[in-house]
Amino acid sequence: MPEPVPGPASPQRRSAGELESQVLAALWAAAGPLTPQEIQHALGDGLARTTVATILARLHDKGQVQRHKAGRGFAYTPTVEDAAGLTARRMHHELGRNQDRSTVLARFVSDLSSDDERLLRSLLGEA
Amino acid sequence: MPTLSLLLPLLLPLLAAPLARRLAEQLAPRAAALLLAGTAATLAAAAGTALALTAGTALLRLPPVAALGHLSPHWLPDSPYTATAAALALTATAALAVRTARRQLADLRRARAVVGPGTAALAVLDDERADAFALPGLPWQRGQVVVTTGMLRALDGPERAALLAHERAHLAGRHHLFLALAEYAAVLHPALRQLRTPLGYHLERWADESAARATGDRAATARAVGRAALAAAKAPRPDRPLLAPAAHTGPVPRRVAALLTPATRPRASATRTAAALALTACLALTAATTLDATTDLHRTVESAQAATR
């Protein structure tokens, strides 16, 4: 039976929403503002520079990123909602407390035992 | 035989649930998740129907109900103990189902409050502790991927792409509905509790495989899962219970190992065929007996009605 998931996609074939999420994730992961070239490098999958520029323009229009003049071009940072951001941090604590009871939120990773941790490190080739 | 047809749907899950677990181990993730969810739904529906029929028959014997339905109570089977037990089980089940529903809604509401009112495909929480999950939306919404900055910083570009693709696969496949269904099934019959953990595992594997296909990079997907788990373990929530060293391998190393081996189609084996046949027989028998019990009650009611004329 064919799977309802697209096959191995070239970066260009990925949806706009997917790429927006990836650029946003790269900006959040960075310590400071990133130039389009740095974003392109951080994504690490051979995305065209024009594509990165288009995505950044779209994110800027939506107010999800802010840009600052940097040299001849712009550097980008993700938009942080001030007051809302603070509550989010406190509430996330709340979310953590009830984590073990959660039945419908599919979390990316579950807890590790110490044996699991050793095994994982060897699988990943880490000392 | 009304008693047997009411008893079988309550007994068969004891046999069918372990069979489904075994069979799922030998299937591809998506097929395994569908099998476990389908088995849970069928067996739970049958067990619920059997309880309702048993309690319902007793209800019909009560003079006011009998009068209302123009029934002659003498024509209805008289088994007060079974009926009382079924009624009690049904009440307990209903109470547990309500508790499960409230818990699930509270979970979703709490997560929704954390993430805020936005509907952006990606919501980032400014928190150093590594965490990521898929937050399902309302039925007509797409849902959101929620990630902490701690998680994003623990991964490189291709790994982040794999993480996002994994969570998107959960949302696209509406995996939260599978998880919710398994909870209700476990409430209806205790033997179905054992299906929850394997279902959760196979749903994660399904999303892992989707992410590997979407990114075209199994190795990066494996690294994403492994490094995310290590990052989450590094900064455990203070209120998280300390895990004793487990004798067996937990789900995360198994997922990583599965991604590091090339994608293979599980081959049919004699044991797999036998397990599939046995499970099919169990499910067919469950469905048939439940149907039989329903038509049986219908017929009894008709004869009891005829007797009053």
ipTM: 0.77
Q: What angle do CA B209, B122, B200 make, to 5 degrees?
A: 40
- Please determine, for residue B124, whether its predicted confidence score (pLDDT) is greater than 50: yes
**pLDDT at A102 (0 to 100):** 55
Q: How confident is the model over A35-52, as a mean pLDDT? A: 88
Query: Is the CB of residue A106 less than 8 Å from the CB of residue B172?
Result: no
- Please determine, for residue A57, whether its predicted confidence score (pLDDT) is greater than 90: yes
Q: Which residues contact A59 (CB under 8 A, 6 or more apart)?
A: A20, A23, A24, A65, A76
Residues of A in Cβ contact (< 8 Å) with B124: 24-25, 28, 78
**pLDDT at B118 (0 to 100):** 72
Residue among A97, A101, A106 minimizing CB distance to B176: A106
| Interface mutation vs chain B, best among A59, A60, A98, A108, most B CBs within 10 Å | A108
Indicate the range of A44-58, A93-107, B28-42, B282-296 predicted with least confidence: A93-107
Q: How confident is the model over B133-138, as a mean pLDDT? A: 86
Query: Is the CB of residue B31 less than 8 Å from the CB of residue B205?
Result: no
Does residue A94 belong to the interface with chain B, where contact is any CB pair within 8 Å?
yes
Q: How confident is the model at residue A95 (pLDDT cuts 50, 70, 90)?
A: low
- Please determine, for residue A93, whether its predicted confidence score (pLDDT) is greater than 60: no
Q: State whether B126 and A102 contact (CB < 8 Å).
A: no
| Interface mutation vs chain A, best among B125, B183, B217, most A CBs within 10 Å | B125
Q: How confident is the model over B158-179, as a mean pLDDT? A: 93
| Interface mutation vs chain B, best among A116, A117, A121, most B CBs within 10 Å | A116
Query: Is the CB of residue B196 less than 8 Å from the CB of residue B204?
Result: no
Number of domains in chain B: 1
**pLDDT at B32 (0 to 100):** 96
Place of tokens 């089977």: B77
Q: State whether B156 and A110 contact (CB < 8 Å).
A: no
Q: How confident is the model over B248-259, as a mean pLDDT? A: 83
Q: State whether B152 and A29 contact (CB < 8 Å).
A: yes
**pLDDT at B236 (0 to 100):** 55
Kindly report the CATH number that applies to the domain delimited by A18-78: 1.10.10.10
Domain, as residue range, for B289: 3-307
Say how many C-beta atoms besides its own lie within 10 A of residue B107's C-beta.
19
Domain ranges of chain A: 18-78, 83-126
Q: Which residue has the higher pLDDT, B28 or B3?
A: B28
Q: How confident is the model at residue B280 (pLDDT cuts 50, 70, 90)?
A: very high
Dump the DSSP string for B195-264.
GHHHHHHHHHHHHHHHHHHHHT-HHHHHHHHHHHHHHHHHS--TTSPPPPPPSS--HHHHHHHHHHSPP-
- Please determine, for residue A76, whether its predicted confidence score (pLDDT) is greater than 90: yes
CA B226 to CA A24: how far, in whole Å? 22
Find the closest chain A residue to B151 by CA distance. A29
Q: How confident is the model over B110-118, as a mean pLDDT? A: 77
Q: Are strands B144-148 and B122-125 parallel, antiparallel or unpaired?
A: parallel
Q: How confident is the model at residue A91 (pLDDT cuts 50, 70, 90)?
A: low
- Please determine, for residue B250, whether its predicted confidence score (pLDDT) is greater than 80: no
Average pLDDT, chain B: 86
Please report which helix (H) or strand (E) contains residue A69, including its range: strand A65-70
Does residue A64 belong to the interface with chain B, where contact is any CB pair within 8 Å?
yes
CA B153 to CA B161: how far, in whole Å? 13
Q: Which residues contact B95 (CB under 8 A, 6 or more apart)?
A: none
Tokens in use for A110?
A: 């579950």
- Please determine, for residue A35, whether its predicted confidence score (pLDDT) is greater than 70: yes
Give the number of A-B residue pairs with CB atoms closer than 8 Å. 216
What percentage of chain B exceeds 70 in pLDDT? 91
